[in-house]
Amino acid sequence: MMDSHRQPKKGNVKQEPKHSPSQSSASPHPQKDAYARLLSQHHSSKFSLYLEQYARGALFQREDNGPALLPRVQSDRLNTSQQQKDLVFNDLSDSSDFSPSSLKCREEENSLSLYMEKLHTVSAQQDCERRRGVYDGQQRGQRRDTATSHDGDIESGEELGSFKPKDTKKCQKQQKKNKDSNRGAASKESDTFAGRPQSPKTRPKEQDQEKMSKSKKKQPPNPINEENREGVDSELFLKTGQGKDKLQEQSKASTSSSPFNKTKNKGGRGSKRQVFESYMTSEEVSHGLKRGELIQGQLRINPKNYQEAFIPSPDDTRDIFLDGVVARNRALNGDVVVVQLLPQEQWKVVRSDTNCEGATEPETQTTQKKTEPNHSHDVTVENQCSDQDELISRYQNMTITNAGRPLEDISTTLSNGEVVQKTAKVVYIVEKKHSRAATGFLKLLPDKPFALFSPVDHRMPRINVPLADCPSDFTSHSDVYTNTLFICRIINWPAESFFAEGQLSKTLGQAGEIEPETEGILMEHEVDFSEFSHDVLDCLPKNLPWTIPPKEMKKRRDLRKECIFTIDPATARDLDDALSCKQLPDGNFEVGVHIADVTYFVEEGSALDVIASERATSVYLVQKVIPMLPRLLCEELCSLNPLTDRLTFSVIWKITPQGKILDEWFGRSVIRSCVKLTYDHAQNMIEAPEKMFSAKELPPIDPEHPIDEIHQAVLNLHSIAKNLRAQRFSGGALRLDQIKLAFSLDKETMMPQGCYIYQYKDSNKLVEEFMLLANIATAHHMYRKFPELALLRRHPPPKTKMMHELQELCDQLGINVDLSSAGALQKSLNAVFGDDEYAVAKTAVLTHMCSRPMQMAIYFCTGIVSDEHLFKHYALNVPLYTHFTSPIRRYADIVVHRLLASSLKCGPHIQMSTDEVEKQASHCNDKKTLSKRVQELSSELFFGVFVKECGPLSSEAMVMGVLDQSFDVLVLQYGVQKRVYCKTIPGLNAFKHRKVGKNSELTLVWTSEDPEDPPVEQVISIFTLVDVQLKADGAPLKYSAVLKRPENSTS
């Protein structure tokens, strides 16, 4: 085949070839033509040099039986410095003895076979080097599949045209030009490797540099390079610079991988190359999973570096790593996939244990220290070589599986502190949980029947959209749509293309405006915010205002005369829980938790039930709520509004003042809330136990219940709740409070007027304690009655490996933290910082660190999980737990209500099977995760608007984590987390990074304000207090944190 593969640009070291008359004299013309044809496809001088070196090396090994490269590469592990010295010489050590003319004795097809053999040899060599950790740090954080770049301004399906063979003189002239032009450039690039000797014969070539500079200027700004700045110069990052564009053009011309190449190459070579592997069949997957040859898990793509993806390891050790888009094989974030482990020789070697989990360290540090600003040339060149390795091994199966000694076991740390992580590739997608929808921008491609859609989420591929699907005036006025947000949905992703195919779902509006951005967030995360259909609304009561039928009243316990009230946020309209507390003659209390009886209105199997089960949860945005149920139910008929008769499900206990439960009752009931209290109202009552509150200080109250009665009930509940809470935490419970940002909005425009950190007060704790008690009681009751059908909620323990690493880090920081159990961790958090002035901030940072190893709590059906020990809720430290208290906004609670009613013989038997309960539980898990993410994005959106409108904002911040060229801070006044990039700090002269064990530290060197004074040094480590300024960026609603010059720093 004459189809050449995409070639990496290799020009690190240029060694002068030795010419001999004999080699240049015998030269059949077919060989010249073959070599010329290869060169004509690639106009890069660096590629020409690389091709020559490939050819020479292959001939050297085939004819002269020279020493093989592979054994040298796979010898005992070298230290990093030595590896850097040997890197290029291992690649090119045989290139100085032969010139291109030495190939002229070969026939055309032989020359191509030599060329491909050399590709194989160098590919194998680089694979082995990379497996041993030499390239690993350089590759991570960069795109290996450059055609899928979301940052460069490239056009899919672009053709370079079919190549034409040049005559002999042109070929020779081109070769000479290549040698001359690469001599200087190769020298400059090679010098950046640490410890590499410089060649006295080489020097930079200014013309090449000028060309590169001009090419870079043509590129658009990189929208995400700020997220990927660690370890490389952003201008020379593979995703943004000229090297990427050339590499893509080479790929398109040589591999014909784009599905839009309609012009076929000469000789009938117009067939598309397969970019992604074909999926296994379901039978193959089933057998592979049973034999333990394949692994199933949920794919997690690093949001700050979409090259990195992970799935959980079945043995609960380090996550399994998927390197690059090709390894993901068209799977998207959240998809359930089946992966096949790569051979041990292809496992990943990394420097630090803490950087192997996608969720724990979003930006991986590299295996080489980055100290020189221009060393990123090496990263670019070597990464392109690795890209070539991947393409060659994929297309021609050129992998080395038995060369060199195997790497150490995954669970071990190497002697030099490096660790090995398993790598894999996706072979099957079990469930496409990702919506396949994305918000983004359209770009017109000249002379193409499609436009290019660039998603805002860089984990998504670029998408080709037919022009017929675009706005009617898009082709003539594409500039009008530059800042317009669209929603696009992937409808197909061919195996032959790095680009997906899709269709536009909607034009949202201008980027940066709250409503279009919010709608994009909702659609991208598959939140159904459409109006409820007529079929659904037909399920609601028709006769309004609705009253409880007398027949139903007789079936229930009448609690309307009791002092029952709600405590909720001031803006809440879906009131699904109420409390009561009545002191008994014996000194004990009758405490009740009363939950809206939603299942009375939502009949199982109805259209209303179907839509509620699909939505699964209400979604809370900053400015509004997307309800799970029609508003007539969630805000009226089910909501426990004051002074109105409402149907409820109640749990009533007889309880001692110390919190010991003496008796328990479950049943359906009717209540009449006497007042709607806010958390602030209840807090005021708690803080002023002797105060006589007037009617003006509180909302409207049922005259049958005086204010004093309500006040005393709140105080009694608070007293019992404190005892219950103390018992829980002394029994080993854990609460990791996350900082929550709240906003004050303009009532008309709904724009943020201010923001503050939400305060979690005693009134919040009061309500939480009794909700927990009700959920735990319901879980035990339900499991006793339905051991195979109960829907419970479990919280797996944190990942052991990560907890050990956290313990080591805390020990090095001098923090006395016991991570042996949930209770031990809680006690440590309560006591570790004492009365320190910044104890709250330090505790927040430590809480964040402790949250990273934690796993998500999930719903499950007890009939599916056989081991009862797995039912446990780690954080609450209880054996059984469920959700019962919020059926208006959670569908899982509706299922629990039905099970509870069936067990009490006060409702129909539930129709769901064990498998159906488990399926619904899984769906609720997915929707809850999406809802949480949407809520976070909504908060980020509004804070971005706030910074833009009211910024810059100055605040103290505390360092949460340190990388080699950046650090993360918690902005104390606003509770937001932000990354500070050293390269963007104004006034910073230099910085250096060092790492001792698990503890990273940056030393920032500031230019002195007085030229006569020495530079000022500032040490950045975890818990360092700094001053930052939040400033709006050029991109819509984006902002950055800028470090301020320290006032008191050691020099």
Dist. CA 491–CA 215, nearest whole Å: 34
Give which of 591, 595, 560, 561 is closest to 578, Cα–Cα.
595
**What would the pLDDT profile of 18-64 be if each residue is shown by its tens digit?**
444 444 434 444 444 444 454 455 444 455 555 555 555 554 444 44
- β-strand partners of 350: 419
Answer for the pair 239, 143: CB distance below 8 angstroms, yes or no. yes
- β-strand partners of 147: none
Answer for the pair 340, 427: CB distance below 8 angstroms, yes or no. yes
- For residue 237, the one-letter residue type is F
Dist. CA 117–CA 56, nearest whole Å: 11
pTM of the model: 0.71
Within the chain, which residues score under 50 in pLDDT? 1-36, 38-39, 42-45, 59-270, 353-356, 358-411, 1050-1051
Please enumerate in sequence order all residues whose Cβ is within 8 A of that of 921, keeping only pairs 6 or more positions apart, or say none.
791, 858, 859, 860, 861, 892
Listed in sequence order, the DSSP H helices in 525-578 are: 534-537, 550-554
Answer for the pair 618, 628: CB distance below 8 angstroms, yes or no. yes
Give which of 140, 199, 212 is closest to 12, Cα–Cα.
199
Dist. CA 618–CA 932, nearest whole Å: 10
- Give Cα separations from 389 to 13, 214, 426, 521 (angstroms): 19, 29, 18, 38
Please enumerate in sequence order all residues whose Cβ is within 8 A of that of 760, keeping only pairs 6 or more positions apart, or say none.
737
Widest pairwise Cα distance in the chain: 116
**What would the pLDDT profile of 357-411 be if each residue is shown by its tens digit?**
543 333 333 233 333 333 333 222 223 333 333 333 333 333 333 333 333 344 4
Q: How far apart are the first and last CA of the chain?
A: 65
What pLDDT was estimated at residue 1048?
58
Dist. CA 456–CA 470, nearest whole Å: 18
Q: What angle do CA 1037, 1039, 1045 make, to 5 degrees?
A: 165
Dist. CA 354–CA 1022, nearest whole Å: 15
Give which of 307, 240, 333 is closest to 926, Cα–Cα.
333
State the chain's mean pLDDT as an integer. 76
- Give Cα separations from 763 to 274, 593, 977 (angstroms): 61, 15, 27
Dihedral pair phi/psi, residue 508, rounded to 5°: -85, -45
- For residue 104, the one-letter residue type is K
Token pair for 550:
């007398």
Token pair for 814:
């001098």
Answer for the pair 241, 381: CB distance below 8 angstroms, yes or no. no
- Give Cα separations from 590 to 575, 701, 977 (angstroms): 22, 22, 44
Answer for the pair 288, 338: CB distance below 8 angstroms, yes or no. yes
What pLDDT was estimated at residue 50?
54
What pLDDT was estimated at residue 12?
39
Answer for the pair 296, 337: CB distance below 8 angstroms, yes or no. yes
Please enumerate in sequence order all residues whose Cβ is within 8 A of that of 629, keeping only pairs 6 or more positions apart, or say none.
598, 602, 608, 612, 618, 638, 888
